Structure 1
């Protein structure tokens, strides 16, 4: 019997995203320790995995598993917000181009070509330098760099 008939790659991907969302929502209940508090005396040297710290500790003595669990929240927030910015810009330019046509379409498509020709990493670094480092800046920069 072919297992692909019952479990598709889309189902596996959806299950993984669902688990990640559940972990992010229930992070305070799932994390064994506070991710910002020093819980082990391993200053300067990462702690090895143990029963108390399944993924070990970092150089400052913080639990790595707790930091990964709480990091899921930030990762999902950045992904969703950046995708919202990307979709807003892309849909607005596409709608204007399709609705007005002619010279507006030509100008918007040349602007899109210009954005495609710029190196994304260089543009992102320049935008962060101008806007300053913050979580909101990350949303905006990823959206501006990837809308094309």
Structure 2
């Protein structure tokens, strides 16, 4: 009877661990990113590339902030506020960020940049270049 109980407990733990990993791997509602086994979907990877093509100059590597602009990882706004700030610009606390609505390198990719920063802010993605999920 004891070995049957051990077998049952072992199977239950395996199922629970598998379900937890699957839930972690799939994109959750309200999340713009998908991370699986430390690799990211195409949208998030493109966001990483776009972020590091321009945003990092002020907001620091990997969104951690700098002396010029705040961290986007420690206090990422909701997606609508993020879109407004990136496209229209923002002024606060004596700091000014120009809008990028007319910039073809950033305006069409605001959601991709948000996906990358959201994954960073949630702790689902560490610093550095992420690996890519294969389609």
Normalising by structure 2, report the TM-score.
Answer: 0.32
Q: Tell which has more relative contact order, 1 or 2 (C-alpha 8 A, sep 6+).
A: 2
| Structure showing greater Rg | 1
Q: Is the strand fraction higher in 1 or 2? A: 2
TM-score calculated relative to the size of structure 1: 0.30
Q: 1 or 2, which has the higher helix percentage?
A: 1
